[in-house]
Chains A and B, each alone.
Chain A
Amino acid sequence: MSTPAASPRPESVAARAVNASKVYGEGEAEVRALDHISVDFASHQFTAIMGPSGSGKSTLLHCLAGLDRVTEGQVFIGDVDISASSEKQLTLIRRDRIGFVFQSFNLIPTLNAAENITLPMALAGRKPDQAWMDSIVATLRIGDRLTHRPSELSGGQQQRVAVARALVSRPDLIFADEPTGNLDSRASAEILNFMRAAVDDLGQTIVMVTHDPSAASYADRVVFLADGTIVDEMLEPSADGVLDRLKQFGG
């Protein structure tokens, strides 16, 4: 059932890892978090990365997002080889071309929801497209929360604001690191539906790390990692199918 890691040619590739390795420590203490991984992430697709803890899924996400550097190989965002980029260039790529949703602590406590949403654009000194902003806010149903500080928002609302921030600058792709890890099932489902809708209706590209099979089932494609290598992938996954596959790898 398994297909090669490199997916069949989509219309375009949003992010790509080529023979990428990440090694921590040296000699006997050497830990190989990523081991010669090559993988493409197609535009306008929702991809989930799964694997047991220590499989390297978070490391892969961090390296793809320009938060960390690979030790060997290359990482591309679009056509740009970010493994060769300077710290400053990486920062600007993160700001202008990538959106982020983290598991927790997504928002700056001193800024209100609206300011948090437009934060990356404000850092770039740009004004958001108001119509686009309005439509995102409406879709995420946070219009009445815009002037509130994060401490006045529920966990689900905070994550929705984070998703709005990730969407507002129309990034090339959005990385989500366990975005529903701290939420109850209802709030989780809401967030995942929004992310699904962002891909389907707004044409966004999302790469999400999760350990939750039901979260992964919202994706178009699931990539399975174990011991720093890609061991399998699945298209159009169902929660049960993902769970079965995970069991095979001892996750």
Chain B
Amino acid sequence: MFRLTLRGLVAHKLRFLLTGVAVVLGVAFVSGTLVFTDTVKKTFDQLFASVYDGTDAYVRSASVVKGQFGPNQRGRIPETLLPQVRAVSGTAAAEGQIQIRRAQYLDRKGKGIGDPGQGAPTLGFNWNTVRRLNPFALVSYGGKPSRPPKAIREVVMDLGTAKAEHFGIGDTVTVSFDNAKVPKDAFKIVGVAKFGDADRPAGATVALFTLAEAQRVNATPGELDGISVAAKPGVSQTELVGQVTSSLGRRGIQVITGAKLVKEQQNQIQQNLGFFTTFLLIFAIISLFVGSFIIVNTFSIVIAQRTRELALLRALGASGRQVRSSVLGEAVLVGVLASMVGVALGLALAIGLRTVMGAFGFEVPTSDLVVKPSTFVISIVLGVVVTFASALLPARRAARIAPMAALRDSAVESRRLGRRTAIGAIIAVLGAVLLFVGLFGASNIQLVGVGVFGLFIGVAVLGPVIARPVGRALGAPLPRWRGMPGQLARENAVRNPRRTASTAAALMIGVALVGLITIFASSLKASISGQIDQAFRGDLVVVGDAGPGSSFSPAMAERIAKVPGVAVANPLRFGAFEVNGTGQFLLASRPGELNRVFDLAPKLGDLTTLQPNQIAVSKKVFDDKHWKLGQKLRTKFPEQGAAPVTIGAVFGRGQREGLSDYFISLDGFDTRFTQHADSQVYIALDRGASIKEVRPKVEAVAKDFPGAKVNDISGLKAQFETQINQILGLVFALLFLAIFIALLGIMNTLLLSIVERTREIGLLRAVGMTRRQVRTSVRWESIIVAVFGALLGLVLGIFFGWAMVTALHDEGFTQLSIPAGQLVLVVVFAALAGVLAAAYPARRASRFDVLDAISTD
């Protein structure tokens, strides 16, 4: 039997090629994702290992505040600890560490270099005087020797920036900071440094200063982020940590080994990558899921066409079991071959992904691709299992073929649609229930996923029941519009409902997801726009290129406030802090001027007279936690540590409305955070002043602050929309793969169908159907199937979109927006895709030799 399997495969190469392609693409996506993330992870692991190569112990503040969105915020330590650490017996050398929050080089035209908003960080550090603790190494450049920075206004630049921006040793460069006293300063480049083997770390720009200079520009005099310590020979990391800890003997200080520091950094990267990996793998799974429909379909059709052959085998004594094994054997072979090709293609995909990431500013250092054995195993097992599982049903059907079928004319489709309706409906309803429980009850994203999966399967099972009436209805205008070829297209599209339905179901999945994402994004835009309209009272806003993470010197707001026509220039600052041990997002501004630019919808207390030791909280949190006005909250700040504040006011628009649940006055913020930098500046104009006249003047001020951008309300909305559209574009690009696979499925089904209909096409040609009419007919058949799939998908997509947006109502999705135009466009696109998928099958059908076709048995 096995030889027969092998023969069958070789004899029908083309037939299985397309099935194979579906598996290949899915597997390639999986293995590409795994290889890419493994490679990135290893690259960063090595990077951190080399950066902290000489560090045996690290001293830092024990005060840490969990970030609600970003990483944890840690406090600083006094510089006075440094001599103490150096005096420890096991210490060979120790040096303070400072990372400057923002140190952006300006090019000769005064424009900022690097784009923190797009992921190319602008880093600044102190130059570590201890050779083995310093990951940077000076190199001579442009024929001139480098030296470390020794005095104020001296900087060492990374080699990458020096090359890219044509700076040389001895040149003067301006660097901008987010410090009110030192918004920017000119520095003499005294040296150029490499970062390990690289010109710069992962696309970032780096500025290196003396320790004192770093403290000056960072506005943190007398403070350090941490102290890195190198051990004397023979002193282990653990011993060193013990010695330093007992020497310092202070509370609030934490000493860890160099190994642990490396591990922490590596874990952080792995966590960030984890999200990305999951994101890509979801699309890989979707592709494989779509591919499985194609596999089911191909095997079903092939078995239907081989009914006589299989029946003959049965008549000659083969058992049903042997027939089934033969089909499954074929599936395993296809699965193995396709998965192997898929893994190979995945390697190419990983390289491509790296290039794409580079284009987005996430420069990943080049290194060899990391292909773990587990990647091979996971990818191939996944590919084979999906192929095998997809072939199970067709194989069962094959095993049931009676020997008598050898004598009957052709395959007859069993018509047990009643049972099918029941099963399909049960699966669909179960899926919908899980979806609702996941969305509204348990808030469990896995349940939602399983529910969506169930609905897809349920609708696919129900597909054949509705394929005939819906296909007929879709094709209703065709006979009049396209004559006999149109009528034949319609009849052919519905003559085999099971085949039509499973072909369409593959497309349904991609379209449903596109529909869901479209509705989700559209609702998000509408909701944000609505929130801006409600909450924003000002006329202009200055935002940074790094979003809420942008930081500007407070000098900007001060200068804007002096612009004629500007009534209020109210800066906004963001900070991370903890309330009752939970990381939260804190918003700070001037309470007295707040209502000129924002409507926070005050509820209790007086927001405008909020004192520095008071905090205002949103009504939602206030009610949820049953707090009272005047109550003391257990809060903790990164630098200050635990420091309670009193609830002074309650307001209506919190995080749900796109703002923050916690508000503090600017003075209160400044006593608790050392970073006195503004993220955004909200501007209200004098009564009668025109935006048109004032805006250019504000822009003239903003020009002095790299990354600052002036917007009005519509500009602000447009900026949000652009951000959403960017993410949307990425998701659509990934979903396109699923749709592409579905198109391969349509093409595959059509090819198999026209081969099956060779005689019929021959007869039509004999009695006078032109080649063009044959092509038209195949094309419209394809369009009906594609539009059927797209409509199924659209119905599901709208349902998913509605369910999701409704479920997220309390998270700020206040408006459900169903963009009809875009959704219609999706169906039009599907129809065009149908034309594309039909191109080759139509051409082939029209080229059948009439005489061969009519004499085919």
Cα of A124 to Cα of B764 in the assembled complex, Å? 12
| Chain A: minimal CB distance from B21 (Å) | 30
Q: Are A68 and B770 in contact (CB under 8 A)?
A: no
Given A67-B850, A109-B760, A122-B483, A91:B770 Cβ within 8 A: yes
Residue in B closest to A108 when the chains form the complex, CB atoms: B760
Does any Cβ of A come within 8 Å of B763's Cβ?
yes
| Chain B: minimal CB distance from A209 (Å) | 13
Does any Cβ of B come within 8 Å of A125's Cβ?
yes
Q: Which residues of B contact A92 (CB under 8 A)?
A: 768, 770
Q: Are A125 and B483 in contact (CB under 8 A)?
A: yes
Cα of A92 to Cα of B766 in the assembled complex, Å? 10
Cα of A208 to Cα of B393 in the assembled complex, Å? 48
Q: Which residues of A contact B768 (CB under 8 A)?
A: 91-92, 94-96, 120, 123-124
Q: Are B851 and A94 in contact (CB under 8 A)?
A: no
B824-857, CB under 8 A of A: which get 1 and which 0?
Answer: 0000000000000000000000000011001000
Q: Are A110 and B767 in contact (CB under 8 A)?
A: no
| Chain A: minimal CB distance from B709 (Å) | 62
Does any Cβ of B come within 8 Å of A119's Cβ?
yes
Does any Cβ of A come within 8 Å of B769's Cβ?
yes
Q: Are A119 and B766 in contact (CB under 8 A)?
A: no
Q: Which residues of B contact A107 (CB under 8 A)?
A: 763
Cα of A100 to Cα of B764 in the assembled complex, Å? 11
Give the residue of B485, B763, B765, B773 whose beta carbon is less than 8 angstroms from that of A102.
B763
Given A62-B851, A109-B760, A110-B491, A123:B766 Cβ within 8 A: no
Q: Which residues of A contact B315 (CB under 8 A)?
A: none
Q: Are B767 and A165 in contact (CB under 8 A)?
A: yes
Q: Which residues of A contact B851 (CB under 8 A)?
A: 62, 67-68
Residue in B closest to A124 when the chains form the complex, CB atoms: B768
Q: Are A67 and B484 in contact (CB under 8 A)?
A: no
Q: Which residues of A contact B184 (CB under 8 A)?
A: none
Given A91-B769, A94-B767, A102:B854 Cβ within 8 A: yes
Report A83-103 residues with CB < 8 Å from chain B CB: 87-88, 91-92, 94-96, 100, 102
Q: Are B764 and A108 in contact (CB under 8 A)?
A: yes
Does any Cβ of B come within 8 Å of A105's Cβ?
yes
Residue in B closest to A109 when the chains form the complex, CB atoms: B760
Give the residue of A106, A109, A122, A165 whose beta carbon is less than 8 angstroms from that of B484.
A122
Q: Are A106 and B773 in contact (CB under 8 A)?
A: no
Does any Cβ of B come within 8 Å of A31's Cβ?
no
Chain B CB count within 10 A is highest, among A88, A91, A120, for A91
Cα of A67 to Cα of B760 in the assembled complex, Å? 15
Does any Cβ of B come within 8 Å of A235's Cβ?
no
Q: Are A123 and B773 in contact (CB under 8 A)?
A: yes
| Chain B: minimal CB distance from A1 (Å) | 35
B747-779, CB under 8 A of A: which get 1 and which 0?
Answer: 000000000000110011111111101000000
Q: Are B491 and A106 in contact (CB under 8 A)?
A: no
Q: Are B488 and A108 in contact (CB under 8 A)?
A: yes
Q: Are B771 and A91 in contact (CB under 8 A)?
A: yes
Q: Are B483 and A88 in contact (CB under 8 A)?
A: no
Q: Which residues of B contact A95 (CB under 8 A)?
A: 767-770
Q: Which residues of B contact A106 (CB under 8 A)?
A: 763
A-side interface residues, number (CB < 8 Å): 27
Q: Is the interface of A mostly helix, strand, loop or mixed?
A: helix
Does any Cβ of A come within 8 Å of B61's Cβ?
no
| Chain B: minimal CB distance from A42 (Å) | 24
Give the residue of B484, B492, B771, B854 whose beta carbon is less than 8 angstroms from that of A87.
B771
Does any Cβ of B come within 8 Å of A111's Cβ?
yes
Give the residue of A67, A110, A124, A165 whose beta carbon is less than 8 angstroms from that of B495.
A110
Q: Which residues of A contact B759 (CB under 8 A)?
A: 105
B659-697, CB under 8 A of A: which get 1 and which 0?
Answer: 000000000000000000000000000000000000000
Q: Are A111 and B491 in contact (CB under 8 A)?
A: yes
Q: Which residues of A contact B769 (CB under 8 A)?
A: 91, 95, 123
Q: Are A67 and B763 in contact (CB under 8 A)?
A: no
B436-465, CB under 8 A of A: which get 1 and which 0?
Answer: 000000000000000000000000000000
Given A110-B488, A110-B495, A111-B491, A123:B850 Cβ within 8 A: no
Q: Are A110 and B763 in contact (CB under 8 A)?
A: no
Given A67-B851, A108-B760, A110-B491, A91:B483 Cβ within 8 A: no
Residue in A closest to B493 when the chains form the complex, CB atoms: A110
| Chain A: minimal CB distance from B414 (Å) | 16
Cα of A106 to Cα of B769 in the assembled complex, Å? 14
Q: Are A88 and B767 in contact (CB under 8 A)?
A: no
B478-504, CB under 8 A of A: which get 1 and which 0?
Answer: 000001110110011001000000000
Q: Are B766 and A94 in contact (CB under 8 A)?
A: yes
Q: Which residues of A contact B850 (CB under 8 A)?
A: 67
Give the residue of A68, A87, A119 whose beta carbon is less than 8 angstroms from that of B767.
A119
Give the residue of A105, A110, A123 whose beta carbon is less than 8 angstroms from that of B483.
A123
Given A123-B483, A123-B484, A108:B763 Cβ within 8 A: yes
Q: Are A105 and B763 in contact (CB under 8 A)?
A: yes
Q: Which residues of A contact B483 (CB under 8 A)?
A: 122-123, 125
Q: Which residues of B contact A123 (CB under 8 A)?
A: 483-485, 764, 767-770, 773
A113-136, CB under 8 A of B: which get 1 and which 0?
Answer: 001000110111100000000000
Residue in B closest to A87 when the chains form the complex, CB atoms: B771
Cα of A68 to Cα of B491 in the assembled complex, Å? 29
Q: Which residues of A contact B487 (CB under 8 A)?
A: 111, 115, 122
Residue in A closest to B772 when the chains form the complex, CB atoms: A88
Residue in B closest to A107 when the chains form the complex, CB atoms: B763
Q: Which residues of B contact A87 (CB under 8 A)?
A: 771
Cα of A110 to Cα of B770 in the assembled complex, Å? 19
Cα of A221 to Cα of B167 in the assembled complex, Å? 103
| Chain A: minimal CB distance from B489 (Å) | 10
| Chain B: minimal CB distance from A113 (Å) | 14
Q: Which residues of A contact B765 (CB under 8 A)?
A: 91
Cα of A106 to Cα of B854 in the assembled complex, Å? 9
Given A91-B765, A110-B495, A111-B491, A119:B771 Cβ within 8 A: no
Q: Which residues of A contact B760 (CB under 8 A)?
A: 105, 108-109
Q: Which residues of B contact A100 (CB under 8 A)?
A: 766-767
Cα of A105 to Cα of B764 in the assembled complex, Å? 11
| Chain A: minimal CB distance from B656 (Å) | 57
Q: Which residues of B contact A115 (CB under 8 A)?
A: 487
B354-398, CB under 8 A of A: which get 1 and which 0?
Answer: 000000000000000000000000000000000000000000000
Q: Which residues of B contact A122 (CB under 8 A)?
A: 483-484, 487
Report B194-249 residues with CB < 8 Å from chain A CB: none
Residue in B closest to A69 when the chains form the complex, CB atoms: B851
Residue in B closest to A125 when the chains form the complex, CB atoms: B483
Residue in A closest to B850 when the chains form the complex, CB atoms: A67
Cα of A96 to Cα of B767 in the assembled complex, Å? 9
A7-20, CB under 8 A of B: which get 1 and which 0?
Answer: 00000000000000
| Chain B: minimal CB distance from A165 (Å) | 7
Cα of A52 to Cα of B488 in the assembled complex, Å? 38
| Chain A: minimal CB distance from B827 (Å) | 26
Q: Which residues of A contact B767 (CB under 8 A)?
A: 94-95, 100, 119-120, 123, 165
Residue in A closest to B410 when the chains form the complex, CB atoms: A109
Cα of A10 to Cα of B770 in the assembled complex, Å? 33
Q: Which residues of B contact A94 (CB under 8 A)?
A: 766-768
Given contacts A88-B771, A94-B768, A95-B768, 14 further A-B contacts (CB under 8 A): A91-B768, A91-B771, A92-B770, A95-B767, A96-B768, A108-B764, A109-B495, A110-B488, A122-B484, A122-B487, A123-B483, A123-B485, A123-B767, A123-B770
- What would 20 A/B residue contacts be, using CB atoms closer than 8 Å? A67-B850, A67-B851, A91-B768, A91-B769, A92-B768, A95-B767, A96-B768, A105-B763, A108-B488, A108-B763, A109-B760, A111-B487, A120-B767, A122-B484, A123-B483, A123-B484, A123-B767, A123-B768, A125-B483, A165-B767
Complex A-B, nearest 3 residue pairs according to Cβ-Cβ distance, in ascending order = A95-B768, A110-B491, A122-B484
Give me the interface of A with B, judged by CB distance under 8 Å.
Answer: 62, 67-68, 87-88, 91-92, 94-96, 100, 102, 105-111, 115, 119-120, 122-125, 165
Give me the interface of B with A, judged by CB distance under 8 Å.
Answer: 483-485, 487-488, 491-492, 495, 759-760, 763-771, 773, 850-851, 854
